[in-house]
Chain A
Amino acid sequence: MKANDVILQTATKVVFFIIFLFSIHIFFAGHFAPGGGFVGGLLTTAAIVLLLLAFDLKTVQQALPFNFMIVVAIGLVLAIGMGAGSFVFNVPFLTHAFGDFYLPLFGVTSLHTAMIFDAGVYLVVVGSTVTMIQSIGGES
């Protein structure tokens, strides 16, 4: 008997966006409040795992057509690139710079290059955990 998953799938369509937005919030709050790249990445993975539970593997791979191994690589390149960028300004490796900028929608915002490193951590965490779960779940 084919299971009827209407309730789970409909709820997933709403709840996925709540978890995803919360993970983005946690990621950006990381500098001044609890949170950061690691927790944000794990929350995004949790949202993708919820999609995998409600739908099957093929549907999710069609909806998110990324190779998550490449996501890990992009994350590592971002982290190393942020560290290596400090050589251009003749300061030690991984020195980060910051300043206040005027952005059109947000007003005066303080931007740090540590955010780029955090984005690297986020992408590595999302890529590696989703790769693990997809490769464990895909074989059977």
Chain B
Amino acid sequence: MTVIANTLIVLTIVVGLLFTVVTVIGVLRLPDVYTRAHAASKSATLGVLSILVGTFFHFWLNEGYFSVRILLGILFLFITAPIGGHLMSRAAYFSGVKPTELTVGDDLAEVVERAKKEKQIN
């Protein structure tokens, strides 16, 4: 039982660490704000979540302490971290940060253009 529990704990924490390292590499190497926000918000969320799951199982199975705080933290991060990424990249878009040269299409530009025209007519 202890071996299975410890394997589970080590596995989740190692997966979390790997995803955090991948986040760092992505933020350093990707070309523009949007691809970096994509790397940072997705893989960092999963990394921190699996580290928290590992911590939760460690305290539950080895120490016998069922920590509701960690579960609440998992839920909280799962809700808020992607929204943080969304708000930051939207703020970047509306303050005029251009996407990288490699970008194929920009669907939001048409919508913003149309909204501006409607505002001028009104």
Contacts and interface: CB of A to CB of B under 8 A. Distances in A.
6 contacts: A7-B87, A15-B80, A18-B75, A18-B76, A18-B79, A22-B69
A15 B87 CA distance: 16
What is the predominant secondary structure among interface residues of chain B facing chain A? Answer: helix
A63 interface: no
Interface residues of B, number: 14
Given A18-B72, A22-B72, A11 B79 contact: yes
Interface string B38-71: 0000000000000000000000000000000100
What is the predominant secondary structure among interface residues of chain A facing chain B? Answer: helix
Contacts of B94: 3
A91 interface: no
A51 to B, nearest CB: 14
Given A8-B83, A8-B87, A15 B112 contact: no
Nearest to B115: A1
A105 interface: no
Nearest to A18: B76
Contact of A1 (B79, B86, B112): B112
Interface of B: 69, 72, 75-76, 79-80, 83, 86-87, 94, 112, 115-116, 119
Contacts of B69: 22, 25
A71 B96 CA distance: 43
Nearest to B83: A11
Nearest to B68: A25
A8 B115 CA distance: 21
A15 B82 CA distance: 13
A22 B75 CA distance: 13
